[in-house]
Amino acid sequence: MSGSRKGPAAIIKASGYMELYDIETDSEVYREGIFTAPAVRASTSEQMIRKVRSRVSGIIEDSKFAVVLGGEHSVSIGAIGAHAEKFSDMSVLHLDAHTDLRDSYEGSRYSHACAMARVRELVDTVISVGIRSMDSTELSCINRDRLFLARDIKSSPVWIEEAVDRLTGTVYVSVDLDVFDPSVIPSTGTPEPGGLDWYQVTDLLREVSFRREVVGFDVVELCPSKAKASDFLAAKLVYKLLSYRFCKGR
């Protein structure tokens, strides 16, 4: 379904109605200072990736922590590229229903379906979590030691520890919201049954934030609909990850 271009604005609008005190971390992370930059706009995926990379590079050079809201998952390529320039040993924690490892999709190497294929050209380690859908052409690209299928997560008591153990000390987190089950967040462009729930995702994000240095993250692929709860979940997720990142150890 189309409409993910409206996702960032929906997340920002929903964020205005959130409680700013986070119970779990006993903190109000907004006091660290949150600035909402003007939207990045482009007519093609390639142009968007270049613009996002340039914008995020400037934020990093200004010693700020960058959070990118998408839009299609392809925006992550630019954000991750900017971070990879700054952090040489950075790994990527990729939360998604899909592997996104096609080399090309519908004539483009920069489609949302190719996002992690392009990211793997930028960083050595990508750990994918929540996967439950892929094309047969992607099988040859799969590294089973770095893939956590949703069906396996369901029965494993140690999957979070194992996923974090495979990451380097410096981590960028990329969250495609369809990693969640559609019963949790129905408003995504490509919903898939059998996804993760709120606490599975936040438990993972808390662990990686406390055990590793999270240097940036993105939240993408919200496709706003009448189900406004999805917008609020996305906004809460951004705030929750910021709370973990800046209030670690509390």
How many Å apart are CA 25 and CA 164, to the nearest integer? 20
Q: What is the DSSP letter of 2?
A: -
39 falls within a domain: no
CATH number of the domain that 238 lies in? Answer: 3.40.800.10
pLDDT at 146 over 80: yes
Q: Please report the pLDDT score of residue 195 as a whole number.
A: 98
With respect to residue 124, please indicate whether it lies within any of the assigned structural domains: yes
Provide the token pair at 23: 């119970």
Distance of CA 14 to the CA centre of its chain: 18
Question: Which residue type sits at 179?
Answer: V
- Residue 44 in any domain: the answer is no
For the entire predicted model, the pTM comes to 0.96
User: Angle at Cα 203 formed by Cα 187 and Cα 3, nearest 5°?
Assistant: 15
- Domain range for 124 is 4-34+51-246
Question: Percentage of residues in the chain with pLDDT exceeding 90?
Answer: 91
Q: How high is the pLDDT of residue 142?
A: 94
Number of domains in the chain: 1
* Cβ neighbours, 10 Å, residue 20: 12
Lowest mean pLDDT among 79-83, 93-97, 146-150, 244-248: 244-248
Q: Quick check: 249 pLDDT over 70?
A: no
Q: Over the stretch 20-47, which tens digit does the pLDDT of each residue have?
A: 999 999 999 999 999 999 999 999 999 9
14, 234 Cβ separation under 8 angstroms: yes
Residue 220 lies in a domain: yes
Q: What is the pLDDT of residue 147?
A: 98
Q: Is the dihedral of CA 209, 164, 59, 224 positive or negative?
A: negative
Residue 250 — very low, low, confident or very high, per pLDDT cuts 50/70/90? low
- Summarize the confidence of residues 120-128 as an average pLDDT: 98
Structure tokens at 84: 């990879």
